[in-house]
Structure formats: structure tokens, C-alpha cells
Structure 1
Amino acid sequence: MSSPVFARVLDAIERGAFPRTRKWAWRILYNMLSRRWRDDEWRFMNFGFVPEGAPFPLRAEDEPERAFIGLYEQAVAGLPIAGARVLEVGSGRGGGARYIARYHGPASIVGLDYSPETVMRARRLNAETPGLSFEVGDAERMPFADGAFDVVVNIESSHCYADVPAFAREVARVLAPGGWFTFADMRGQASAFTLDQELAAPGLDLVSEQNLSKGVVTALNVVEARKRIRLGNLRLMRRFVTEFSGARGSMLYKGLGDGSVIYVARRYRKAD
């Protein structure tokens, strides 16, 4: 049975209710997860994405994370990452930033996250990766200079923000002229159409958009057994975290399947 608490959280997100309270609650949840799950195998906190067609190349040691990495590969494929200054906003435990650093050759990549516990975990898990660092900070008030980055990545994080338009304005501010902003997140069908307004920061031009929902559901199916093992070790808030993680039978899993929840990917470019 779906968690009544989680249902109320989703309803509040859809209505835009209590944004500051929701932002504070998400921070507490991510801090709790970082304290509870300390294993080195858990570098990713996204739903994942399995594209149609031929699989992209991965080293053997990264194959177990293919479903999660797929969301990052679709985000950066074809972008000028080599030699670029990259920022990931909402970097979680750092698996995505680590993948970009190891496979796409940026000059540097910074992961920014609102949860101090999660940043500490990311630093420990990814300490061996050259050119990769992590900082605590607010997506709506980033601690970086104007034009500090060439590419900004934001994966499955914006639904936690109190003020998405403020985040978009910050993206535009920290991007250098000609820089790229690659975004992916889920929205209820009713609120998906507001992304045009939420991300319409001056200077950011929409270049492409796609619906990833089918490939996200495929990824959720791929990682289901592994996820259930981890959930079985969780006593506190097990039902809520089951919903939050998109496990099979959850509200989010069903919504992505029937179209009431849409997983959207977008790319923007800052004017020269």
C-alpha cells in the first residue's frame, strides 16, 4: 500500500505548497540516508535511464551501475565536456560527477549539494578521482562567481527546491557565455507544463527536450532486486523510502508507467 505521508508530499509538490518547509524536509531525508547507508557500493541516488538501441561503452567495473549512469550519459552526450569547467548541482553521493570526470575529460568538475552529510559521503567515496571536488551549497544561491562554468548539470534534484526560477537564474549567472545547461527531473503531468516558466531565465535558450519516462521505468525494473535488498535493511521510514525510491508498485513507478508522472530532459544554451 502506498504511504499516505508520501502521497501528501507529492500533492504539496504539485501545488507548490510550503516550499521552504519541503526544502528543509528533503535536506533532513538526504542527511538521514547518508548516515544510514554508508556502503561504498551506493554512489548514485537517481532513478536511472536505459536508452533504446545499442548500449554505450562502459568499463567492466562500472557495468553494475549502468542503469544509473545512463541518466548522466544522456545528459552530457554530444556536449563539449572535454576540457570544460563542469558543475553538477544536486550531486548527491557523487557517482554521476565521477562518471563525467572519468569518461568525458572535463578540466574540472564540482559537485554542489545542500546536504552536508551527503557531501561528506561524496568526498570519501570519490576521493581518488582527479579534478573532482564537492561543496555544500544552496542551488538557489550558489557560492560561485559569475561565468565560472562552461556546463551545468542538474539531474533529479529540482523537485526538492523551494524556488526553481531562482535556481534557473543562478544557472544563467554561473554559466559562461555559450555555456550549456543540461537538466532532467520528473514532474506530475499537471505541473510539467510549468517548466517553461520555471526554467525561463534571461539568457538561457531552450535547445532540446525529450520524455525519458519509458527508459526510466526500464531502469527501475533493472535495479529492483538490488533496491529491495537495501530497503530490507531499513527499519525507519521503510514505506516512505520505498515510495521515494520508485520501487515497483510505488506511486512514482505507477505514475511513470501511466503517464501521470513525466520524466523530462532538457538542454539550454546561454547566449554568447
Structure 2
Amino acid sequence: MSSRLFSSVLDIATPGRFPRTQKWIWRRVYNLLSLFWKDGDWRFMNYGYVGDGAVFPLRPEDEKERAFIGLYQQAVDGLLVEGARVLEVGSGRGGGARYIARYFAPAAVTGLDYSPETVRRARTLNADTPTLTFEQGDAEKMPFADASFDIVVNIESSHCYGDVEAFAREVARVLKPGGWFTFADMRPKSQLSTLDSQLAAPGLECIASSNISANVVAALDSAEARKRERIGRAWFLKQFMAEFSGAKGSMLYKGLKGGSVVYVARRYRKTS
């Protein structure tokens, strides 16, 4: 029953099919998750990334989140974050923005999310990080002035947007010249060329692109036991939560492992 329900939701929410309905559905899904998933030690909602290179250092209290933090580490690795003004669009429960704020010494990090309940949850979970703030707003019409940020981060969020082209134009608008836009998300393999054109906003030059599906599957595998333990406490719609979280055997897990769904990471530079 829950698998069929998730399949129906996923079909309606496929990027580009029903843009307004898509945004409406995802906003309410994340509102509900924030209302009912109140775990104080669970700041991440992404699928994660396990790399092939050297292990990056983490404080002991952050080790349990290593797989999820990995998506943010690969997103900003090599960028000049120290002293920068950073915006994360689609910041969720705030774990990624908190990691950047605590480990890379930026001047300030702002998290923007469309879900009011998720913003409230993020503020509560991350109140210990003074350089970090969260605002509610639309990725397709951001409440920030032109050239406000040095770096824009967007992790596993764009598939929820009704108009990805509008989002890319907004990224180009709020970035300073020479600034960086670092992006990671999944798409059905058949939609990758569409994603290319959607993100090709004037002023954004694609510098690097990679398929990180195998790294994401490795992260899903590493987090499986902890995820299943938490899902086991959710008496309501356990199977729906398993599908949503990419647990082993779920539609999205099978798609990523089999190649019908591709997880990409990209970096763009603001040229003018």
C-alpha cells in the first residue's frame, strides 16, 4: 500500500510534469516530516556520499553523520570558503549548512528553505552555530539582493522545484562575479539533457561535472542500519519512509544502483 502511494506521489512530483502540483506536494511532505520526525540528533535528509580518496577529518560528535556530510564535503572541497558569504538553497534541517559554518570559517552561512516547518526545525537544531541563519523562501524567487553571496550550495533539492530554469537564473543573480555555484542532485537518466539546459543560465559557466551515483549508493549502504532503526520507530507509513529515504530495496535505491536514476555533482562559475 505505502509503496504504491509513494510511487503515485513520485510520478506526480517528477520534475517538469506538473510544476505547481510538484511544489505543493514537496512542501507538504517536508512540513509533515519536520512535524513528526523530531529527532534532535538527525540534522540531515540527503542520501549521502562516500568518497574514494582520503578521509576528511571530523570531530568525534560528527562521525555518525559522516556519510551525509560527505555530500557537502565534496561540494565545497577546494573552494575558498573562509571569509565567504555562503547560501544554501534547500537547506532542510540545516546539517549541511552547519557543517560548512563550523568547519570552513565562512563570514556567514544562510540556509533558505521553502517549508516553514523545516525552517523552524532547522533553527532549533542548529541554534549553537552563531554564524548560521535560516530563512523561509522560494528557490525560484529568492529574498536576497543581487550579488549577495560568494558561494551558493544546492544539495538534493532541485528535483522539488517547479521551475529549475528560474532557480538557475536566481542563482546567477544572487552570486557575486567570480562566485561559485555547487550543485548535486539526482534525475532519471532520460532527463539529464533537460537538466543541462535548465541550469545553463546566462552568466553561469559549468566548470566540472561528474556522476557520483556509486558514491551515493555506498553512502546509502553505510547508513542502512541506522536508518532502518529510526524508520522502525515510525509506526505510521513505515514503508513510505523506507521508500522516501532510499533504503535498500526501495525504488530510488534500485534506480541509482541500476543506472536508471543518475546522481550528478556540478560546479558553475559566475562569469559576469
Shorter-chain TM-score tier: over 0.9
Structure 1 counterpart of 2:105, one-letter code: G
Q: Which residue in the other structure is 1:123 paired with? A: 123
Is the contact made by 1:252 and 1:261 (CA closer than 8 Å) also made in structure 2? yes
In the superposition, the TM-score normalised over structure 1's length comes to: 0.97
Q: What is the rounded CA distance, in whole Å, between the counterparts of 1:271 and 1:223 in structure 2?
A: 38
Look up the SS of the partner of 1:110 in the other structure. strand
Is the contact made by 1:84 and 1:107 (CA closer than 8 Å) also made in structure 2? yes
Deviation at 1:236, TM superposition (A): 2.7
CA RMSD between the two structures: 1.3
Deviation at 1:195, TM superposition (A): 1.2
Look up the SS of the partner of 1:193 in the other structure. helix
Q: Which residue in the other structure is 1:133 paired with? A: 133
1:106 aligns with 2:120: no
Q: Which residue in the other structure is 1:215 paired with? A: 215
In the superposition, the TM-score normalised over structure 2's length comes to: 0.97
Q: What is the rounded CA distance, in whole Å, between the counterparts of 1:37 and 1:101 in structure 2?
A: 24
Q: Which residue in the other structure is 2:38 paired with? A: 38
Look up the SS of the partner of 2:30 in the other structure. helix
Deviation at 1:5, TM superposition (A): 2.5
1:17 aligns with 2:8: no
Is the contact made by 1:2 and 1:251 (CA closer than 8 Å) also made in structure 2? no
Is the contact made by 1:34 and 1:121 (CA closer than 8 Å) also made in structure 2? yes
Q: Which residue in the other structure is 1:66 paired with? A: 66
Structure 2 counterpart of 1:184, one-letter code: A
Look up the SS of the partner of 1:179 in the other structure. strand
Matches within 5 A, 1:76-225: 76-225=76-225
Q: What is the rounded CA distance, in whole Å, between the counterparts of 2:267 and 2:114 in structure 1?
A: 23
Is the contact made by 1:2 and 1:250 (CA closer than 8 Å) also made in structure 2? no
Q: What is the rounded CA distance, in whole Å, between the counterparts of 1:5 and 1:15 in structure 2?
A: 18
Is the contact made by 1:86 and 1:106 (CA closer than 8 Å) also made in structure 2? yes
Structure 1 counterpart of 2:194, one-letter code: T
Look up the SS of the partner of 1:3 in the other structure. helix
Cα gap change, 1:61 to 1:271, in 2 (>3 Å): same
Q: What is the rounded CA distance, in whole Å, between the counterparts of 2:21 and 2:2 in structure 1?
A: 22
Cα gap change, 1:14 to 1:193, in 2 (>3 Å): farther
Deviation at 1:204, TM superposition (A): 0.3
Deviation at 1:14, TM superposition (A): 4.3
Q: How many residues align?
A: 272
Deviation at 1:9, TM superposition (A): 3.3
Identity %: 68
Q: What is the rounded CA distance, in whole Å, between the counterparts of 2:19 and 2:36 in structure 1?
A: 26
Q: Which residue in the other structure is 1:252 paired with? A: 252
Structure 2 counterpart of 1:224, one-letter code: E
Is the contact made by 1:49 and 1:218 (CA closer than 8 Å) also made in structure 2? yes
Q: What is the rounded CA distance, in whole Å, between the counterparts of 2:31 and 2:82 in structure 1?
A: 32
Is the contact made by 1:119 and 1:135 (CA closer than 8 Å) also made in structure 2? yes
Is the contact made by 1:14 and 1:190 (CA closer than 8 Å) also made in structure 2? no
Cα gap change, 1:15 to 1:25, in 2 (>3 Å): closer
Stretches of structure 2 lacking an aligned partner (at least 5 in a row): none
Q: What is the rounded CA distance, in whole Å, between the counterparts of 2:213 and 2:128 in structure 1?
A: 33
Structure 1 counterpart of 2:31, one-letter code: N
Structure 2 counterpart of 1:3, one-letter code: S
Deviation at 1:37, TM superposition (A): 1.4
Deviation at 1:161, TM superposition (A): 0.4
Cα gap change, 1:15 to 1:57, in 2 (>3 Å): closer
Q: Which residue in the other structure is 1:263 paired with? A: 263
Q: Write out per-residue CA displacement over residues 194-252 of structure 1, whole angstroms, 9 at most, x where no aligned residue.
A: 11111011000000001110010010011111111111121333222211110000011
Deviation at 1:130, TM superposition (A): 2.0
Q: What is the rounded CA distance, in whole Å, between the counterparts of 1:142 and 1:117 in structure 2?
A: 18
Look up the SS of the partner of 2:255 in the other structure. helix
Cα gap change, 1:150 to 1:188, in 2 (>3 Å): same
